[in-house]
Structure 1
Amino acid sequence: MKIVLSVIELSEMLAVSTDSIYMMVRENQIPHVRVRRRILFHKETIEDWLKGTSSLN
């Protein structure tokens, strides 16, 4: 089971465009981490964020 998601995987999971994901990252609206040039999303954190329980809201 994957524990991190890429921008493309997250956009498919949320049914939004990758441009929307990049905009949310730029505006710090979604919890993410940067590893060099990659933007990654911890699956469990995103699930909590979707439920409204993330501390990054």
Structure 2
Amino acid sequence: MSKLMTAAEAAEFLGVSQSTVYLEIREGREGCIPHIKVRNRYLFQKDKLEAWLENQPTNKVSVNGREADFDLTQQNEGAKQQE
């Protein structure tokens, strides 16, 4: 099992706010951020977050009138290299 992270650490790793992490979990949609609930705490396994990120679809954004892919997983490449 990989290192367990708090919601704050997971939010920093994912590049989102802590409230976004909690909102994603509370919505309980299929494919939401993988987590473990221990009493009133949510914990996250780093390897499961990495796998979840890799399986997320890329978003299309418009750049200068042209559609381009915006891959959220690129944000974390620097974090992976630092380890």
Superposition CA RMSD, Å: 1.6
- Say how many residue pairs are matched: 52
| Pick aligned residue for 2:52 from 45, 49, 53 | 49
Q: Deviations along 1:14-57, whole A, 9 cap, x unmatched? A: 1211110000111231111100111001111111001118xxxx
Q: State the alpha-carbon separation in 2 of the partners of residues 10 and 30 from structure 1.
A: 10
Report the equivalent of 1:16.
16
Q: Give 4+ residue runs of structure 1 displaced > 3 Å after superposition.
A: none
The structure with the greater share of residues assigned to strand is 2
Unaligned runs of 5+ in 2: 57-83
Same amino acid, percent of matched pairs: 38
TM-score by length of 1: 0.80
Unaligned runs of 5+ in 1: none
Matched residue SS, 2:16: coil
> Rg: which structure is higher?
2
